[in-house]
Structure 1
Amino acid sequence: MSMLPRERAPYSAIVDRPPLKLPGKTRVVLWTIVNLEVWDIGRPMARQVIPAPTGQALLPDVPNWSWHEYGMRVGVWRFFKLYEKLGIRPTLSINARVCEDYERVAAQARDAGWEFMGHVYDQMPIHKLDDQRATIHRSMDILEQFTGKRPKGWLGPGLTQTLDTPEYLAEAGVKYIGDWVWDDEPSEITTAKGPLVTLPYTVENNDIPMMAVANHESPYWLQRFKDSLDRLHAEGEERAKIMAVAIHPYISGQPHRIKYLEEIYDYAASLGDVAFWNGEEILDWYTASKTKA
């Protein structure tokens, strides 16, 4: 059932809604999303750190493929060490194929108690799939078999959706999505199978647009996080605020960037009244808040 976004959710100004409240004195939830992807060497790479010579795309694209591979071989292990130290269990936006091609990495996240979130089978725009519905179901089934639990969340590759995607996701058992980056708090969209909750994912505080697209230096990335947290923490006195940290191991797991990621959590902790939740915990809180209202 194809529907335009405004048909799934009419416009809603945040000031016109009853304020949501977080438990106790908490003002802001910092939602960490680690993205793990499979880049098929037989296709053009999902993104490039180095352009092809004379601008001609060549296959196989070994330099850009191996740049991504660094994240799985090295960078992600810096993430595991950091989150174990902090006692944080992030949301893992994961291509289901990671469980097959990088089982060692996927098992580490599973055994550490990370929340798995569907991220299609391997990294390509959802518009390019031959059978979107079947691929969504296949991806969710693989993750459920690997972890023993069906994921509640979904993030499209590159945040891509078609007008039909929400229907297929709800049918596959998805409860929340991160593709609609339109708010500071959870919201809902309509599907034939019931509502889907949208959680505040980010493109503004995401290391791909910041580092790989806009080519900002790492200290600026940290400053943007601080500026965002300062404002959300102030506004959080009146209503709950969610802030996402969206990272990829081949970018934020690089040795020249990892310290800035570490400093984000140091700064958030220094503010006080900041909780470190994953997507399922945010969903459970939002669902309970609605029940009480």
Structure 2
Amino acid sequence: MPRPDERYDYSPILDRPSASWPGGKKLAVYVAMGVEHYTFGEGQTEDLLEGVSAPDLVNASWRDYGNRVGAFRLLRRMETFDIAPTVLLNTALYDSAPQLLEAVRRSGAEVVGHGVSNSHSLGSFSEPEELLYLKEVAARIHDEEGAAPLGWSSPWLTQTSNTLDLLGESGYRYVLDLRLDDQPVWLNTRSAPLLAIPYALELNDSTSIIGRNVGAREFADMIIDEFEELLLAAGEQRLVMSIVIHSFISGAPFRLRQLARALEHLAGRGDQVWFTQPREIYRVMADERSAATGMDVTDEVR
């Protein structure tokens, strides 16, 4: 199993050259929204209340709120701030919530592969099974959206020792599972180079609000504080900030009100920020790599 230091080289941020994002901006910000499907009574679940006996209608209905209500309100609120979302999509929702996918398309969202259902993770797959699974997710999104996803986000942030290698072999070009840096980092794989785009492990309503009982107001303050600190650091070099929300968590009205407060703060500094999506970050990085190597990224094989 490759160690982390075999996937990427050590590089202290102070030693890197200065560069900018499009428009001369130094801080890129994207908002990722998990839109997830759970198979009732099966596999892993994200629960608000622990220890509920089966059949657990309470937690199942809490999760369903996201696809019936929360996601629509989050999409609408982001639109008011002119933020095009990034949707981490379980493809089972194409069958269980088709109207939600219509709203996702209208929002101009980028769709990122996030598995079939969040009831399962990659952890138990053999290498052939995982390769087939990754390809099936990409094929379903291609069939529904007209283009395969460039990016992948693992359900439950779980990987096997093969995942990073198989992503490139399945046609994915970037991964959102990791926060090893405030800049995108090219990962070493046995196939085409894979870009790790910074992904919030703490500015993440699942890990913070549900996992560590952070309040909605505190979570909004965390977003604002991270933004201001990264904006200060970005005076020297371009950086990436991500915010990760889920339809059934941040879509709750009292949390949405606090999230909107944070997004309004960020939008008020729009002249200094590139509000974007991971695919646009990838394209900038891929173009620069191609210019430096004289070879298209998709043609590179390790």
**2:64 aligned partner:** 69
**1:150 aligned partner:** 148
**Aligned letter for 2:17?**
P
Of 76, 80, 100, the residue aligned with 1:81 is: 76
Gaps of 5+ in 1: none
Q: Aligned equivalents of 2:281 and 2:260: distance in 1?
A: 22
Structure 1 pair 292–132 and aligned structure 2 pair: CA distance change class (3 A): closer
Q: How does 1:1-293 map to 2 (within 5 A)?
A: 2-53=1-52, 58-123=53-118, 124-129=120-125, 131-271=129-269, 272-291=271-290
Decide whether the 8 Å contact of 1:155 with 1:178 is kept in 2.
Answer: yes
Q: What TM-score results when the alignment is normalised by the length of structure 2? A: 0.90
Q: Aligned equivalents of 1:262 and 1:253: distance in 2?
A: 11
Q: Aligned equivalents of 1:128 and 1:43: distance in 2?
A: 15
Give the secondary structure class of the aligned counterpart of 1:257.
Answer: helix
**Aligned letter for 1:248?**
H
Gaps of 5+ in 2: 293-302
**Aligned letter for 2:168?**
A
Q: Aligned equivalents of 1:113 and 1:238: distance in 2?
A: 31
**Aligned letter for 1:253?**
G
**Aligned letter for 2:143?**
Q
**Aligned letter for 2:116?**
Y
Q: Aligned equivalents of 2:230 and 2:288: distance in 1?
A: 20
CA displacement 1:131-178 (0-9 Å, x = unmatched): 222111111110110100110000001211111001211111000001
Give the secondary structure class of the aligned counterpart of 1:238.
Answer: coil
Decide whether the 8 Å contact of 1:29 with 1:275 is kept in 2.
Answer: yes
Q: Aligned equivalents of 1:285 and 1:84: distance in 2?
A: 24
**Aligned letter for 1:164?**
N
**Aligned letter for 1:49?**
L
Q: Aligned equivalents of 1:29 and 1:174: distance in 2?
A: 21
Identity %: 27
Q: Aligned equivalents of 1:117 and 1:274: distance in 2?
A: 22
Decide whether the 8 Å contact of 2:22 with 2:274 is kept in 1.
Answer: no
Q: Tell me how many residue pairs correspond in the alignment.
A: 288
Decide whether the 8 Å contact of 2:183 with 2:238 is kept in 1.
Answer: yes
Q: Aligned equivalents of 1:29 and 1:184: distance in 2?
A: 10
* More displaced stretch, 90-99 vs 22-31: 22-31
**Aligned letter for 2:136?**
R
**CA RMSD of the aligned region, Å?**
1.6
Q: Aligned equivalents of 2:113 and 2:149: distance in 1?
A: 7
Structure 1 pair 31–281 and aligned structure 2 pair: CA distance change class (3 A): same
Give the secondary structure class of the aligned counterpart of 1:136.
Answer: helix
CA offset at residue 44 of structure 1?
A: 4.3
Q: Aligned equivalents of 1:227 and 1:112: distance in 2?
A: 27
**2:300 aligned partner:** none
Q: Aligned equivalents of 2:209 and 2:122: distance in 1?
A: 23
